[in-house]
Amino acid sequence: MKVCRAKTAGFCMGVSLALQKLNSALEGSSGRSKSAEPPRICTLGPIIHNPQVLAEYESRGVACVNEASQLRPGDVAVIRAHGITRQVERQVFESGATVVDATCPKVKKAQLSIARATSNGATLLLFGEEDHPEVRGLISYASGPAHVFGNADELAALHLDPAGTYVLASQTTQDREIFTGIRESLSSSLNNLAVLSTICDATRERQQEARNIASKVDVMVIVGGRQSGNTRRLADVAALSGIATYHVESAEELETANFTNKSQAGLTAGASTPKSLIDAAEAWLSSL
């Protein structure tokens, strides 16, 4: 089978930077004198959304804690790439742990942009997944009321006051085309709307490449963690082309029967997917 692999597949800048910071923390711990007890290296929630990467760091002794109250003085606390809420961040600094902020720079920029834009008490309208850790962090920076919506129906259910003051923003990994439609719709119905450009360019590039590849192949394979929002959206984008699309976490989940009578496969991966997993999927497809 011929495989068309996306050039943008795999780690984005934010993920690479977060893992570099975690690796540096581990190296700093192992470099201490043998007589000194090494600090515990912790992440505030999963550092990224990829189970294989998380398992590797767990095997290296990294502890994943979900609450700041689980931190102890002397720990090294690495803030996850998705960021955390303002309230949790305060608790982390008060814990006595050494803090390493591995929040993606694009997420941090979105947080600060929301803080500035809502400083007058404007209502935040955030396009994203309500339960996603990045979204929880973003809305914590809003000075006024905040509403999260995942689609047009949820937005319509908010019954917004046309005379109100609003700020529209997005989770950094959302679909830019859908966001553009939402922006145009709200701009025509609200008198006072400020729009923030918070969707990451890497997300846009990956989604566009997925669309382009899907238009030329018989089947699409998306590799990445099921908890990864940007990976799920790549699968959604590919599926909209009308061809069979398979979202898998590893090549072991691929089934030969799904590729019968297919001659060309498209392959891409989420921004938190290691190259080794993409390589393995490409090798599997190429062997058919």
> What Å distances lie between residue 231 and 162, 206, 223, 244, CA to CA?
35, 10, 7, 16
Q: Residue 160, exposed/middle/buried by CB under 10 A (0-12, 13-18, 19+)?
A: middle
The C-alpha angle with vertex 253 and arms to 247 and 255, in degrees rounded to 5, equals 95
**Closest C-alpha to 238, from 160, 175, 164, 157:** 175
- Is 261 annotated in a binding site? The answer is no
- Is 147 annotated in a binding site? The answer is no
- Is 228 annotated in a binding site? The answer is yes
- Is 172 annotated in a binding site? The answer is yes
- Is 42 annotated in a binding site? The answer is no
The C-alpha angle with vertex 97 and arms to 95 and 101, in degrees rounded to 5, equals 110
Question: What is the amino acid identity at position 113?
Answer: S
- Is 82 annotated in a binding site? The answer is yes
- Is 247 annotated in a binding site? The answer is no
- Is 212 annotated in a binding site? The answer is no
Please list the residues that pair with 240 across neighbouring strands.
none
The residues annotated as belonging to the active site are 134
Q: Which distant-in-sequence residues (6+ apart) come within 8 Å of 266 by Cβ?
A: 3, 4, 6, 210, 213, 214, 216, 217, 219, 220, 221, 238
Question: What is the amino acid identity at position 44?
Answer: L
**Closest C-alpha to 152, from 188, 179, 134:** 179
Q: Which distant-in-sequence residues (6+ apart) come within 8 Å of 121 by Cβ?
A: 143, 144, 165
For residue 166, the surrounding DSSP H or E stretch is strand 165-170
Give binding residues as ranges: 12, 49, 82, 104, 132, 172, 200, 228, 230, 272
Give binding residues for isopentenyl diphosphate as ranges: 49, 82, 132, 228, 230, 272
Give binding residues for [4Fe-4S] cluster as ranges: 12, 104, 200
Give binding residues for dimethylallyl diphosphate as ranges: 49, 82, 132, 228, 230, 272
